[in-house]
């Protein structure tokens, strides 16, 4: 055998080796899943994360012919589920409900998060989430955001702002709004939205910001005035509430959730899950459930969703660290 033929044979064998290793991987992705898939939900039952995770689990089960099993794994503001996922095998059989609060903000204010928010996970599909709303008691004369900013500047220190959850995105969004408009309010911290809603109804605080779904009942009393929602567009069931952007303040802050997994899940599996979630969330029963919580997710493919995740991390991560954990470098 001449040296030229030997060289050709070696090259051919190397090519065959590459092809033979690639075929099983692709076949594995096409056949996936062959066993139940676990979806960790980092918050308790009944909340938005739980609802969205269970809708996704059902739609994925229907689409794949295999069980996607939701499991509530609470703790550390969402990072217990994130840590278990980050350490799992990247085979697509362990996923978790991630999002702006339970991963981006929680990681930013934790000295040792389980993994890098962007590079330590595979971000797969966008679920969306409810926008925040800014409410004022009827004693505050402002009818829109411009009037509110003017009133707050003319009455420094006279408005009490009820913070229903200091680490929430709704609270961070309003703190960013204060920073950008140069207004200063007296902060009153609460353990949750319900007590803040009670106190704004009673006039003990004059201002609060929380998820629109948490404030819906309070708004219907007519004793508080919604000045703006942080959604990309107006919410159909609350069409009379203008967005922040419409009123000249380009602030978009939806308390969104998503589906993520360990770093390194094969792209074919990621694409398969992403397409099934987008299709499933468009089903009439899912749309009805999402509309109840003012959720209108964009159908982002994996590349667009990865870019969105990075932009949200760049936006909210540094702010959370600055405001909530200034000693973390």
- Supply the CATH number for residue 63's domain: 3.40.190.150
Give me the pLDDT at residue 171, please: 82
Give me the pLDDT at residue 240, please: 94
Q: Are residues 147 and 117 in the same domain?
A: no
- On whether residue 4 sits in a domain, the answer given is no
Q: pLDDT at residue 217 above 90? A: no
% residues pLDDT > 70 (the chain): 90
Q: What is the DSSP letter of 237?
A: G
Please tell me the least confidently modeled range out of 90-104, 128-142, 165-179.
165-179
Q: Are residues 232 and 172 in the same domain?
A: yes
- On whether residue 297 sits in a domain, the answer given is yes
User: Which has the closest alpha carbon to 296: 305, 308, 286, 309?
Assistant: 286
Give me the pLDDT at residue 292, please: 84
Q: Are residues 234 and 266 in the same domain?
A: no
Q: Are residues 227 and 284 in the same domain?
A: no
Could you give the number of structural domains in the chain? Answer: 2
How far apart CA 92 and CA 271 sit, in angstroms, is: 11
Confidence of residue 163 (pLDDT cuts 50, 70, 90): confident
Give me the pLDDT at residue 152, please: 96
How far apart CA 200 and CA 120 sit, in angstroms, is: 41
Q: Are residues 77 and 40 in the same domain?
A: yes
At which of 179, 203, 238 does a domain end? 238
What are the residues whose beta carbons fall under 8 Å from the beta carbon of 254, sequence distance 6 or more?
Answer: 100, 128, 129, 130, 131, 132, 230, 231, 232
Give me the pLDDT at residue 194, please: 83
Q: pLDDT at residue 143 above 70? A: yes
% residues pLDDT > 90 (the chain): 62
CATH number at 218 reads: 3.40.190.10
Q: Are residues 210 and 284 in the same domain?
A: no
Q: Are residues 156 and 59 in the same domain?
A: no
How far apart CA 12 and CA 112 sit, in angstroms, is: 48
Tens digits of residue pLDDT in 31-84: 899 999 999 999 888 888 999 999 999 999 999 999 999 999 998 889 999 999
Give me the pLDDT at residue 205, please: 96
Query: Where does residue 329 rank: exposed (0-12), middle (13-18), buried (19+ CB within 10 A)?
Result: exposed
Q: Are residues 225 and 261 in the same domain?
A: no
What are the residues whose beta carbons fall under 8 Å from the beta carbon of 237, sequence distance 6 or more?
Answer: 291, 294
Confidence of residue 210 (pLDDT cuts 50, 70, 90): confident
Q: pLDDT at residue 7 above 70? A: no
Per DSSP, helices labelled H in 77-131 are: 79-86, 106-108
Distances (CA, A) of 126 to 55, 97, 146: 13, 10, 33
Give me the pLDDT at residue 8, please: 52
Q: Are residues 188 and 146 in the same domain?
A: yes
Mean pLDDT of 149-177: 87
- On whether residue 23 sits in a domain, the answer given is no
Q: What is the DSSP letter of 159?
A: P
Q: Are residues 112 and 72 in the same domain?
A: yes
Count the neighbouring beta carbons within 10 Å of the beta carbon of residue 109: 18
- On whether residue 17 sits in a domain, the answer given is no
Q: Are residues 139 and 159 in the same domain?
A: yes
Give me the pLDDT at residue 69, please: 98
- On whether residue 164 sits in a domain, the answer given is yes
Tens digits of residue pLDDT in 186-203: 989 887 788 889 999 999
Per DSSP, helices labelled H in the chain are: 3-31, 48-64, 79-86, 106-108, 145-154, 169-181, 193-201, 212-220, 267-281, 284-292, 302-324
How far apart CA 258 and CA 315 sit, in angstroms, is: 17
Tens digits of residue pLDDT in 253-277: 888 999 999 999 999 999 999 999 9
- On whether residue 61 sits in a domain, the answer given is yes
Provide the domain limits for residue 263. Answer: 32-129+257-324
Distances (CA, A) of 213 to 58, 197, 235, 237, 298: 23, 12, 11, 11, 19
Q: pLDDT at residue 183 above 50? A: yes
At which of 238, 266, 300 does a domain end? 238
- On whether residue 27 sits in a domain, the answer given is no
Q: Are residues 116 and 143 in the same domain?
A: no
At which of 204, 238, 272 does a domain end? 238
- On whether residue 52 sits in a domain, the answer given is yes
Give me the pLDDT at residue 29, please: 66
With beta carbons less than 8 A apart as the criterion, state whether 133 and 234 touch: no
Give me the pLDDT at residue 260, please: 98
More confident site: 287 or 294: 287
How far apart CA 240 and CA 226 sit, in angstroms, is: 9
Count the neighbouring beta carbons within 10 Å of the beta carbon of residue 211: 24
């Amino acid at each position: 055998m001449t040296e030229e033929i030997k060289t050709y044979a070696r090259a051919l064998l190397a090519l065959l080796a590459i092809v033979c290793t690639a075929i099983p991987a692709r076949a594995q992705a096409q056949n996936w899943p062959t066993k139940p898939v676990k979806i960790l939900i980092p918050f308790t039952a009944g909340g938005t994360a739980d609802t969205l995770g269970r809708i996704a689990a059902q739609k994925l089960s229907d689409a794949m012919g295999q069980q996607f099993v939701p499991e509530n794994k609470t703790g550390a503001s969402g990072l217990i589920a994130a840590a278990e996922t980050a350490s799992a095998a990247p085979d697509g059989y362990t996923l978790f409900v991630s999002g702006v609060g339970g991963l981006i903000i929680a990681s930013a204010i934790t000295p040792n998060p389980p993994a890098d928010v962007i590079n330590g996970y595979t971000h797969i599909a966008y679920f969306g989430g409810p926008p925040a709303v800014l409410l004022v008691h009827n004693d505050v004369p402002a009818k829109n955001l411009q009037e509110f900013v003017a009133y707050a500047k003319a009455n420094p220190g006279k408005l009490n702002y009820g913070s229903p959850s200091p680490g929430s995105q709704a609270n961070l969004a309003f703190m960013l709004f204060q920073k950008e408009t140069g207004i200063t309010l007296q902060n009153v911290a609460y353990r949750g939205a319900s007590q803040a809603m009670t106190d704004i109804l009673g006039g003990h605080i004059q201002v609060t910001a929380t998820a629109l779904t948490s404030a819906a009942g309070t708004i219907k009393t007519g004793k508080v005035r919604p000045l703006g929602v942080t959604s990309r567009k107006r919410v159909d069931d609350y069409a009379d509430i203008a967005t922040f952007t419409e009123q000249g303040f380009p602030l978009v802050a939806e308390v969104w959730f998503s589906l993520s997994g360990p770093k390194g899940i094969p792209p074919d599996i990621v694409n398969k899950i992403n397409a099934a979630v987008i299709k499933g969330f468009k089903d009439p029963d899912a749309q009805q459930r999402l509309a109840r919580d003012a959720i209108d997710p964009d159908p982002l493919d994996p590349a667009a969703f990865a870019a969105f995740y990075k932009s949200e991390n760049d936006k909210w991560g540094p702010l959370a660290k600055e405001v909530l954990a200034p000693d973390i470098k």
